[in-house]
Every structure is written in structure tokens, then in C-alpha cells.
Amino acid sequence: MKVLAVGDIVGEAGLSWFVSRIRALRKETGADFIAVNGENACGTGITGRQAGELLDAGADVITLGNHAFRRQEIFEELEDNPRILRPMNFAPQSPGQGWGEYETRFGTVQVINLIGRCNLDFGPDNPFLMVEKHLKNHPCRLTLVDFHAEATSEKLAMAYHLDGKVSALWGTHTHVQTSDGMVLPNGTGYLTDLGMTGPKYSVLGVEPQQSISMFRGDPRQNFKTAPGPRKLEGAVFTIDEKTGRCTAVQPLRLEEAGGK
């Protein structure tokens, strides 16, 4: 079984690039299941329309992160659509669910969405303790985890914590693809960060000059998605459907032709 995990969709530019490429990419990679992080489809947050476009284009599940609730219109979708997940360790009264089970020709695939606590400016429940308890109550041979976190150490620690208990774990949130794709000793596939899907010439999807201005200390302004060619980043995890163990991790990057 092959799982394609796609890094954070950034703005309408990232959304349209995903929609235009994902069906062909499913064929090219042989992907049997596609997970995409959509929490930045609006820049910050996602709307019901955008979620619908991602699912209609071919995503099997959408995961979110710290901007999950920025757009209140997504609340109803989170309650009604089991294919849109928000981090499981948010407060229990939060709309939506943090995990789901999806039927495939290989059997049930469980997807868990978690958010980290290191350097993120709020206090969700402990993701290590919560996922540990969840897996005891909801074991599943094919389990995938999107850990939306800032610190590379927290992501890697979670991967070792779950090694052999889940099929694959990937990081999102930092929008920069890492080069450490690997299969851990007990069979869990891992990549610290998938990267992002959106403007190639940008700072995490934002116009570079706006980001420079912020770091210079200039008056703040609303961020704008950068123009120009786009990229799609992620990874393909090959999983033995009989054992649930990952056998290979292949980072992925597609770039749109064109200059700045």
C-alpha cells in the first residue's frame, strides 16, 4: 500500500496547484490513500468550499493544525464531515474530531491528527499521553499520524514514542521539507516535515518582502500569498498492508515551470 502525504496547502495558489496535479500524481506515485494538510488554504484557516475542493480533487482526508478554527464557517463541516480532522489534543469541546477510520481495499486506515506544544502559543493536552491512550483503546494495523508541530525535536521524539505502534508519522506546520525520511527500527515511516504546497518563491508562502519587513520591525500588515510559480511537496510512504509496517519513505517535490 502506498500513502501520499501532501504538505500544508498555502492560499488559493496552493489549492489550485493541488487540484490541478493530484489526479495525475496519484497515478504517477501509485498512491492508494492521500492525506493533505489544509490548514493554510485561506492563508490562515480553511473554508468549507476549499475543503470540498481538496476532497473532490482526490484527497481522502484533510488534516489541520493551529489555524483550524480561524474561519468559523468550517465549524459545521468539522462536525458533519469525518474526512476533515482537527488536532485530537485540542480541548474536548472543540468542534470536530481528531481521528478517523476510512475503508480501503487494504482494510481500515486510521488517521490521527495531533498538534505539538513546544513553541506554539496555546496549551493543548499532552499529545504523547493522549495518543498513547487512544491507541490502546483504538488499535488499528494501518495507522497514519500528522503531527503538526514547531519543534523538530518534539516531532522526532513522537516518532520514536510511536515506533512500531503506527505505520507512518509525518510532521507539518513549518513548511520547509526536511531530508530525514526514514523507516525507524520498529517499522514506522517518518519525515520531520513534508514541506508546503504553494508559491515557490516565498517565505513559507508569504511574499518575501512582507516577511522581511516583519523581521525588520516595520509596522505589521496582513500577509499576502506570493505570486509566481508553485511547488507541491510531500512524501510517499510504502506500507506492508499485512503487517502495517513501513518499508520505504520517498520525499516528493513538484515544481511549476516559470520564473519569478
**107, 119, 130, 232 from 142: Cα distances, Å:** 8, 30, 19, 25
Catalytic-role residue among 67, 134, 148, 173:
67
Cα–Cα nearest to 248, from 177, 191, 174, 171 = 191
213: which 3 cell numbers? 519587513
Cα–Cα nearest to 46, from 6, 17, 19, 85 = 85
Torsion from C-alpha of 120, 139, 85, 195, nearest 10 degrees: 60
Q: Are 57 and 70 in contact (CB under 8 A)?
A: no
Strand partners, 161: none
**15, 52, 194, 196 from 202: Cα distances, Å:** 16, 26, 16, 11
67 annotated active-site: yes
Residue 120 φ then ψ, to 5° = -100, 140
Q: Which residues contact 189 (CB under 8 A, 6 or more apart)?
A: 167, 168, 169, 170, 181, 182, 183, 237, 238, 239, 246, 248, 249
For residue 241, the surrounding DSSP H or E stretch is: none
As annotated, the active-site residues are 67
